[in-house]
């Protein structure tokens, strides 16, 4: 049902959305012809309310199967609905697996993508030999060899700073500049789960999954941290052969100089699994 909410007398407003989704049943964030995407579902939900087509702009494009704990997007709207009420209006119109956690009005010059100064991803690996259905959708079940987090952390540390990461860019990317400023990178264990978190100003297409695929080789001792560093520093893309499964990756959060949402809503909203050893 279309809601009569258009009002030419109202000044245009920009509405920011804080979004969570399980990427399992979606063909990524970006709108796709003949494919179900997160962006497409949210745009359709808003259009069902306003009766007009709408474009939403996200902070980042996640691939098919990748999740988000705090994706951020915005859209322009001219009408009578207050910005903070869009959460309750959109959620009943969304498919299972997508939730709008909050909505708020932002300034005209604020942009979900271009105003962001960093993005942080978390990759989760479940290392127990026994499968667990409750973690299957959001973890890579890797148990074939023991992963040593100290080796992975040693490989992560040289990533800090601004570097050319052509070695970790999937084919099909239209981005010319492969420079990325990595601001933080860490590996830690919680019981049967191994976590890798990487924060940067931006990411190349497929970068984190290619990184994790090679870091697992480091963790099991097939590569040394030094060999890992040599490969990306020398842009040896042909040496990077494996991409970690999409389901273990989550866009954890996005950072802005000015953000309209309370930290409790966006800072760390993907649960950390901590099953005993």
Residue 170: the pLDDT is: 87
Q: Are residues 205 and 101 in the same domain?
A: no
Which CATH number belongs to the domain containing residue 132 in this structure? Answer: 3.30.70.660
Same domain, 99 and 159: no
The dihedrals phi and psi of 131, each to the nearest 5 degrees, come to: -65, 155
Q: Which of 48, 63, 174, 268 is catalytic?
A: 63
Q: Flag whether pLDDT at 9 surpasses 60.
A: no
Q: Are residues 173 and 82 in the same domain?
A: no
Contact of 192 with 135, CB cutoff 8 Å: no
The region of weakest confidence among 18-27, 93-102, 268-277 is 268-277
The verdict on 146 and 178 lying in the same domain is: yes
- CA angle, residues 248, 165, 115, in degrees to nearest 5: 75
Q: Is residue 111 part of a domain?
A: no
How many domains are contained in the chain?
Answer: 2
Q: Is the pTM of this model over 0.75?
A: yes
**DSSP notation for 93-106:** GSPTTEEEEEEEEE
Judged against a pLDDT cut of 90, whether residue 272 lies above it is answered with: no
Residues in the chain: 277
Residue 85 CA, distance from chain mean position: 25
253 and 142 in a common domain? yes
> Does the pLDDT of residue 273 top 90, yes or no?
no
**pLDDT tens across 258-269, in order?**
999 999 999 999
Distances (CA, A) of 84 to 44, 164, 201: 19, 41, 28
Domain match, 76 and 178 both: no
Do 117 and 202 form a contact (C-beta atoms < 8 A)? no
Same-domain pairing of 249 and 123: yes
- Give the pLDDT mean for 109-117: 96
Q: Say if residue 208 is in the same domain as residue 182.
A: yes
CA distance 207 to 16: 27
Q: Is residue 99, in this structure, part of any structural domain at all?
A: yes
CATH number at residue 73: 3.30.70.580
Least confident of 40-49, 85-94, 153-162, 172-181: 172-181
Residue 108 known to be catalytic:
no
Whether residue 78 sits in one domain with residue 37: yes
Is residue 76 domain-shared with residue 130, that is, in the same domain? no
Final residue belonging to a domain, choices 70, 86, 106: 106
Check whether residue 126 and residue 73 sit in a common domain. Answer: no
Rounded distance, CA 185 to CA 271, Å? 19
**Looking at the domain assignment, is residue 263 inside a domain?**
no
Give me the domain span that covers residue 81: 13-106
User: Do 19 and 71 meet the contact criterion of CB atoms below 8 Å apart?
Assistant: yes
């Amino acid at each position: 049902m279309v809601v009569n909410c258009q009002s030419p007398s109202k000044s245009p407003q920009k509405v920011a959305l804080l979004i969570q989704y399980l990427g399992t049943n979606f063909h990524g964030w970006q709108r796709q012809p003949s494919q179900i995407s997160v962006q497409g579902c949210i745009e359709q939900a808003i259009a069902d309310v306003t009766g007009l087509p709408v474009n939403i702009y996200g902070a980042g494009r996640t691939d098919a199967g990748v999740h988000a704990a705090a994706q951020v997007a915005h859209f322009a709207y001219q009408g009578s609905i207050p910005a903070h009420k869009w959460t309750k209006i959109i959620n009943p119109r969304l498919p299972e697996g997508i939730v709008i956690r909050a909505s708020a009005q932002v300034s005209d010059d604020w942009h979900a993508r271009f105003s962001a100064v960093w993005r942080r991803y978390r990759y989760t690996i479940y290392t127990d030999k026994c499968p667990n259905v409750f973690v299957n959708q959001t973890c890579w079940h890797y148990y074939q060899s023991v992963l040593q987090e100290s080796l992975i952390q040693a490989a992560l540390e040289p990533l800090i700073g601004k570097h050319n990461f052509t070695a970790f860019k999937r084919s099909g990317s239209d981005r010319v500049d492969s420079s990325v400023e990595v601001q933080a990178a860490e590996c830690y264990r919680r019981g049967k789960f191994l976590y890798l978190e990487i924060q940067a100003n931006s990411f190349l297409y497929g970068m984190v999954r290619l990184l994790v695929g090679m870091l697992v080789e480091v963790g099991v001792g097939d590569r040394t941290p030094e060999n890992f560093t040599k490969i990306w520093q020398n842009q040896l893309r042909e040496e990077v052969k494996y991409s970690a499964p999409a389901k273990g990756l989550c866009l954890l959060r996005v950072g802005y100089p000015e953000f309209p949402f309370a930290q409790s809503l966006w800072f760390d909203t993907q649960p950390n699994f901590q099953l005993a050893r």
